[in-house]
Amino acid sequence: MTHPAFLDQLPKFAFFTGKGGVGKTSAACATALTLADRGETVLLVSTDPASNIGQVFGQPIGSRITPLNTTPGVDALEIDPETAAATYRESIISPVRGLLPEREIQTMTEQLSGSCTTEIASFNEFADLIADPDRTSGYDHVLFDTAPTGHTIRLLELPGDWSQFIDEGKGDTSCLGPMAGLESRRIVYRATVNALSDPTRTVLVLVARAQHSAIHEAERTCRELTALGMGNQHLLINALMPDLDDDPLAAAIRDQEHRELATLPSRLAHLPRTTTTLHARNVVGVDQLREFFATTPTHPVHSADPTHEPPRDYPPLTDLVDQLAAQTHGLFMTLGKGGVGKTTVATAIAVALAERGREVLLTTTDPAGNLTETLNGTVANLTIAKIDPDQALREYQDEVLATKGTRLDATGRAQLMEDLQSPCTQEVAVFRKFSEAIREAHDRIVVIDTAPSGHTLLLLDATGSYHREMLRQMGDNLVATPLTRLQDPNYTKMIIVTLPETTPILEAEQLQRDLQRASITPWAWIVNRSVAAAHPASEFLHTVADGEIPQIKHVQHLTERMAVVPLLPTPPIGQDSLHSLSQSAPLARSASAR
C-alpha cells in the first residue's frame, strides 16, 4: 500500500476538510488504516453530518470511542452535529423557558437552529479532544473528518463578553446568538486554536476534486485558514479519472481534469500535493481502503445487478421543463449545496423555457458577464439579471453598522462585524435582493439559481423582519410577502439539485427538512452528473454507474418528481450544450459518444 506525502512526519492532529462529496471520509479512513499498518495508534473522529465511518469499516460506531474490529490500533468516534446542536441549544434555552413569552422562546430557538450553531456545537464537542492532552494521550495521531471553518475560529477568538452583547440586544442577527453559551469555555478554545495554528501539532488536508467549484472552495479555505495562522496545509486531489481508452466520455473528463490541475490557483499550486485515482466502487472495507492511495488501483469487472432499475428509464430534465412551461409566469428556484451544479441546471431550465416561447428572467449570484460567456450569445426571450452577493452583503453590513453599530464601542463593533460576515448574514443580504425578483414573477417566469435555506427564511420571520412587520402594519388584511410567495406552490416551485452520491444526497435531505420547517415543500429533485444516465462504454464506468443506482432509487422515495441529468464529456457551455442538458437520455448517450 502506497502512502501520501503528508504522512511523512505527520503531527498529532490532522484535519480533512472540503466540500461535501469530495471524499474526505474515505481519505481520513484510508489514512487511519495506513498509520495502523505502520504500527501506530489512531483515534478517528468524524464531525460530518453525513458521516459513514461505520459503513466504511462495517460496524456501528456512534458517540462513544469504539475500537475497530477490522483495524487493530484504530478507535473511532462519530460526533453527530445535529445532536450536539440540539443539546447546546437546550442548554441556552432551558434556563429561560417559563420566564419568557413563548414567542420569544420560538425566536431564540430559530436563532439557534442555523449552520453557525451546528458548527459551534461541533467545535464545542471536539475542542476537549484537542485542549485536554489526557483525552488523547493513548494515541499517536488524532484524525478529524471535517475541520472548523475560518469563520467559526474567528468567532471563537473574538474579545468581550458575548452573553452581555446578546442580552443588550446588540447582536440579534445570525451568529452571536449561538455564542451566548460559550463564555465559560474561553480557555479551552484558546488552547484549541493554539493547537490548530501550531504546525508541529496540526496539519490541514484540503480535499478536492479536479473540478472548478471544488478547487475554488479549497482555495477559499486555504486563504481563510492561512490568514488565521494555520499554514501547515496539504492539497489532496481525489478521484481523478483513470486512463480508459475504450470510453470517449472518460477520456474527455480526464482531459478536463488535467486542464483544471494545470491552472490551479497559485495559492494551491504551491502546496504539497497528493492525487488519487477514481475507484469504480464505493470505498468500503479494509481491502478497498488499502487501495485508496494506490497509483494504479484494481478496477473490478462490471457485474450488473438484475434488480437495479435500468438507467434508460430515468426521467430526463425535459419532463420537468415541459411541466414548468405550462405556466406563463411564476418563480422557479434551484437549491443545493455548492458544487452540485445548480447554477448550470438553472441556466439550462431558463434556456429551455425561453426556447418554448416563455418570457424568462434568470437571476443568479454569478456575475452576469460570466453567464453571458456560458450562454455564448444571446437567447431570445431570456434576460439575465446580476446579483452580486458581495455587494449585497456590503450594503447590508453598512446599513446595520449605521444603525446598531452607532451604539457600540470598538469591541462591540468588532463582534457585530464578525457576525455580519457569517454565511447566514450573506443569505439574508442576498435574499433582500431576491425579493425584487420574486415580485417580478407576477408577470413572467423568473428562474433563480440560489435560494435561502428554511432557517434563513424563519430567521427573517422570527426576528421581526419584513414578513412580520408587513403583517403588523396591515393588521388582519391579507398581504403577500416574499415568504408567503415562497410558501405558495402555485407561485413558487423549488427544485433541489444533488449528485448521485451519499453525502450530497444526505445534505439535500437536510435542506428539504429545513425548508419544510418554513412550510415549503420542494417541487422536484434533480440528480445531476449521473454516470448511469450517460450510458458509458467502459466496464469501469459501468461499475461506477451500478454504485449510483441505489442512490437514485433513494431520491425517488424522497420526492414526487425527479429528473436525472447525465454526466457530459465537457462542461455545458453555449446554448446548444445547455439545450442538450435538458433533453432525454438518448441525446446524452450520443453526446458521450462524441
β-bridge pairing 74-78 and 42-46: parallel
Give 268's contacts (C-beta < 8 A, 6+ positions apart): 206, 215, 218, 219, 222, 235
List, as own/partner pairs, every contact residues 409-414 make where C-beta atoms lie below 8 angstroms and the sequence separation is at least 24, other chains included: 411/159, 411/160, 412/160, 412/165, 412/170, 414/158, 414/159, 414/160
Integer Cα distance of 323 and 2 in angstroms: 52
Q: Grid coordinates in use for 151?
A: 469563520
Give yes or no for a contact between 215 and 265, defined as CB atoms under 8 angstroms apart.
yes
Question: Distance between the two ends of the chain, CA-based, in angstroms?
Answer: 37
Instruction: Tally helices (H) and strands (E) across the chain.
Output: 25, 15
Instruction: Report the amino acid identity of residue 291.
Output: E
Pairing of strands 74-78, 66-67: antiparallel
535: which 3 cell numbers? Answer: 450510458
CA distance 534 to 292: 25
Any idea which residues carry the catalytic annotation?
A: 21, 23-26, 48, 503
Secondary structure (DSSP) of 151-177: HHHHHHH--S-HHHHHHTTS--SSSTT
Cα–Cα distance measured from residue 121 to residue 128, given in angstroms and rounded to the nearest whole number: 12
Cell (9 digits) for 224: 481563510
Report, in angstroms and rounded to the nearest whole number, the Rg of the chain calculated over CA atoms.
24
Q: How many CB atoms lie within 10 A of CB 273?
A: 17
